[in-house]
């Protein structure tokens, strides 16, 4: 059993045939973590005993001849901004270094009921603010394909763990590309569901109108299985959609011939690395060979998307992060003995620079006298961007682009210039602004072996088409590991 | 320059952030380059555009609500479990009312 190549279906086969117990499968992943985590630093902390106990429960069901739940014995890594009862949930921040979650996030409760095991909590940019995992307050994560390179971010630990074989799949969160871009950098599949498709209860909030939890996996089919397990209405999250959850695994087998793939004329301009362009062009040719029709579409407000996104995201972040004040949980620093002194000293000591920068900007754009000029303006531009996608997706079933304009970059290469880091999010942030789903698919490697990702964006609640086309694409391209 | 040392201090106060002199110097440059970049939004005429309130629901739709029934969530002990300083069933904070 090589944990780097296991899929959910294979875990089930091993269990059904009696070739391995759930405890053995879990242990193989814990061994892989012991071997690969010291160099990649994908995980922040883990509760191995709890994972082995979950596995032992599955083995007890097997021995008793009981039917197994759908994800029985599947080891998963969870981004450290998603609550697992009794485990720390740090968000990659000093301010929550010792915070222990009191309850399971809805996605965790659902995965637990489905029989999966939680083998570790993944490193991330502090409060999911970043595109490289270098903004973790604890340490940066390294790309398992090339240790001098970043794994992407903010769900960099989740993506690196899946690529390195520490888990069969992972959960991340995506506010502006934080699942899709690290999936692209680490050569795995990442899905950002439609806003409202997956409950956010138990996810520490960053941008509440943008955040979605989604799966990372080594195959599209595994991503479909994980999405099916976590999606659906949750009364703990009023923004979760009441729409029924389709059978994603059944949907991926449907034919893709005749699907229209939209290519935004604004996307394929200067600014994309030549090696990315070459791999994406080859990927588009593959889609044509699968019987898809490539059509040009128009997204005229693309150039405004980054500015719009950062105003909205920082405003929401500054509001959400006001809860960290040293009173009810997390770090407390006393200051000069006054209440406001304590708030200010706690937040100064507990937050890193990127978080402070965003809180200051977010507070500024919401402040009296600037609200209309910045925040309200951005929310209006957001409407225009959303309408762009409605029109484009009336002409095409999906929209294709690179996930990131560049291959993975070296650690330290962009960390000194926040704006340069923001600009690399151009292809991913629009899905969050418009609330539509997106998937990043492995699409070959650079000449030096660094992964490149193809992104597909779809209509609201049409994850089925993304998964179906992704499944056909990874098989035709030989990109799927299995 | 859109935002100077005074504005950073003022916003820091609103956001309850103590900002050191070094941080102030670093942030002013970075914040201005981001805000200058954001200025491009003003090139768009949005006088007849409604701001986005929800990305999936239309303006006349509302979120699905659950019945407003009390449920048991956390005990007092659990709620206090992460408190940095607690006592007598409360979160303790520094004195709020000043001495005469």
Residue-range domain boundaries for chain B? 1-38
- Contact of B11 with chain A, judged by CB distance below 8 Å, is answered with yes
Is the complex ipTM more than 0.85?
yes
C-alpha dist (Å) from residue A8 to A107, A191, A404, A411, A480: 18, 17, 28, 32, 14
pLDDT by 10-residue block (mean), chain B, 100 residues: 89 92 89 92 96 83 83 92 95 82
Cα torsion A218, A224, A226, A231 to 10°: value is 150
A79 is catalytic: yes
Q: Using the beta-carbon criterion (under 8 Å), do A351 and B17 form an inter-chain contact? A: yes
C-alpha dist (Å) from residue A213 to A171, A274, A408, B30: 7, 32, 23, 30
Residue A402: both structure tokens together? 């690179």
Q: Within its chain, how far is the Cα of A239 from the centroid?
A: 19
The rounded mean pLDDT for chain A is 96
pLDDT digits (tens, 9 = 90+) for A336-391: 789 999 999 999 999 999 999 999 999 999 999 999 999 999 999 999 999 999 99
Element (H, E) at B33: helix B21-38
Question: Average of pLDDT values for A417-435?
Answer: 88
pLDDT of residue A482: 41
CA A3 to CA A25: how far, in whole Å?
8
CATH assignment, A8-258:
3.90.1300.10
- Contact of B1 with chain A, judged by CB distance below 8 Å, is answered with no
pLDDT of residue A481: 57
Q: Among residues of chain A, what percentage have pLDDT more than 90?
A: 94
Q: Using the beta-carbon criterion (under 8 Å), do B14 and A310 form an inter-chain contact? A: no
Q: Is the pLDDT of residue A79 over 60?
A: yes
pLDDT digits (tens, 9 = 90+) for A161-190: 999 999 999 999 999 999 999 999 999 999
Catalytic residue among A21, A79, A116, A155: A79
Q: Is the pLDDT of residue A421 over 80?
A: no
- Write out residues 63-82 of B within 8 Å (CB-CB) of A: 63-66, 74, 78-79, 81-82
Question: Average of pLDDT values for A133-161?
Answer: 98
CA A219 to CA A227: how far, in whole Å?
12
**Residue from the list B31, B40, B66 with its beta carbon closest to the beta carbon of A307:** B40
pLDDT of residue B99: 64
pLDDT digits (tens, 9 = 90+) for A16-36: 999 999 999 999 999 999 999
- Contact of B20 with chain A, judged by CB distance below 8 Å, is answered with yes
Q: Using the beta-carbon criterion (under 8 Å), do A360 and B17 form an inter-chain contact? A: yes
Which fold does the domain B1-38 belong to in CATH?
Answer: Histone, subunit A (1.10.20)
Q: What are phi and psi of A65, to 5 degrees?
A: 70, 20
CA A3 to CA A165: how far, in whole Å?
5
Q: Using the beta-carbon criterion (under 8 Å), do A330 and B14 form an inter-chain contact? A: no
Smallest Cα–Cα separation from A244: which of A224, A221, A228?
Answer: A228
Question: Average of pLDDT values for A96-122?
Answer: 98
* Contacts with B15 from chain A: Cβ below 8 Å: 318, 322, 347, 359-360, 363
Q: Confirm if A59 and A72 have CB atoms less than 8 A apart.
A: no
DSSP-derived letter for residue A302 is G
pLDDT of residue B95: 85
Which residues are paired to A421 by β-bridges? Answer: none
Q: Is the pLDDT of residue A73 over 90?
A: yes
Domain spans, chain A: 8-258
Q: Using the beta-carbon criterion (under 8 Å), do B17 and A311 form an inter-chain contact? A: no
Catalytic residue among A116, A136, A178, A424: A178
pLDDT of residue B98: 72
pLDDT of residue A261: 98
- Contact of B58 with chain A, judged by CB distance below 8 Å, is answered with no
């Amino acid at each position: 059993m090589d944990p780097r190549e296991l899929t959910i279906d294979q875990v089930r086969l091993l269990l059904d045939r009696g070739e391995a117990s759930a405890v053995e499968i879990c242990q193989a992943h814990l061994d892989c973590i012991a071997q690969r985590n010291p160099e990649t630093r994908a995980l922040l902390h883990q509760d191995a005993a709890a994972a082995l106990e979950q596995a032992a429960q599955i083995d007890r069901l097997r021995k008793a001849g009981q039917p197994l739940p759908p994800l029985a014995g599947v080891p998963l890594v969870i981004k450290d901004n998603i609550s697992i009862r009794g485990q720390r949930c740090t968000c990659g921040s000093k301010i929550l270094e010792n915070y222990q979650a009191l309850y399971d996030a809805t996605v965790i409760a659902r995965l637990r009921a489905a029989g999966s095991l939680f083998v570790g909590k993944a490193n991330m940019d502090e409060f999911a603010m970043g595109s490289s995992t270098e903004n973790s307050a604890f340490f940066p994560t390294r790309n398992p394909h090339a240790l001098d390179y970043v794994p992407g971010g903010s769900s960099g630990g989740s993506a690196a763990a899946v690529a390195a074989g520490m888990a069969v799949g992972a959960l991340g969160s995506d506010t502006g590309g934080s699942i899709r871009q690290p999936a692209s950098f680490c050569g795995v599949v990442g899905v950002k569901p439609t806003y409202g498709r997956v409950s956010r209860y138990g996810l520490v909030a960053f941008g509440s109108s943008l955040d979605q939890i989604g799966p990372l996996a080594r195959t599209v089919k595994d991503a479909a299985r994980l999405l099916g397990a976590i999606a659906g209405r949750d009364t703990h999250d009023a923004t979760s959609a009441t729409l029924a959850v389709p059978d994603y695994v059944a949907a991926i087998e449907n034919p893709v011939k005749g699907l229209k793939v939209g290519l935004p004329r604004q996307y394929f301009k200067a600014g994309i690395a030549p090696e990315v362009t070459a791999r994406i062009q080859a990927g588009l040719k593959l889609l044509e060979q699968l019987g898809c029709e490539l059509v040009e579409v128009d997204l005229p407000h693309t150039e405004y998307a980054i500015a719009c996104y950062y105003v909205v995201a920082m405003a929401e972040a500054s509001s959400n992060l006001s809860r960290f004040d040293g009173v009810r949980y997390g770090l407390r620093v006393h200051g000069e003995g006054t209440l406001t002194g304590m708030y200010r000293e706690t937040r100064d000591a507990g937050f890193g620079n990127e978080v402070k920068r965003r809180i200051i900007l977010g507070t500024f754009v919401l402040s009296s006298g600037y609200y209309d000029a910045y925040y309200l303006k951005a929310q209006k531009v957001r409407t225009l961007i959303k309408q762009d996608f409605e029109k484009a997706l009336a002409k095409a079933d999906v929209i294709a682009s690179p996930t990131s304009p560049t291959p993975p970059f070296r650690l330290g290469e962009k960390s000194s210039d926040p704006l340069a880091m923001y600009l690399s999010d151009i292809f991913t942030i629009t899905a969050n602004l418009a609330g539509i789903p997106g998937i990043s698919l492995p699409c070959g490697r650079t000449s030096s072996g660094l992964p490149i990702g193809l992104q597909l964006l779809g209509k609201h609640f049409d994850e089925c088409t993304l998964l179906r086309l992704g499944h056909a694409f990874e098989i035709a391209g030989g990109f799927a590991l299995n | 320059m859109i935002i100077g040392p005074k504005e950073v201090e003022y916003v820091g106060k609103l956001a309850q952030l103590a900002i050191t002199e070094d941080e102030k110097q670093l942030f002013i440059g970075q914040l201005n380059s981001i805000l200058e970049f954001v200025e491009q939004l003003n090139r768009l005429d949005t006088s007849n555009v409604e701001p986005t309130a929800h990305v999936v629901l239309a303006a006349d739709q509302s979120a699905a609500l659950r019945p407003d029934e009390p449920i048991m969530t956390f005990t007092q002990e659990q709620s206090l479990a992460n408190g940095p300083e607690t006592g007598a069933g409360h979160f303790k904070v520094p004195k709020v009312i000043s001495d005469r």
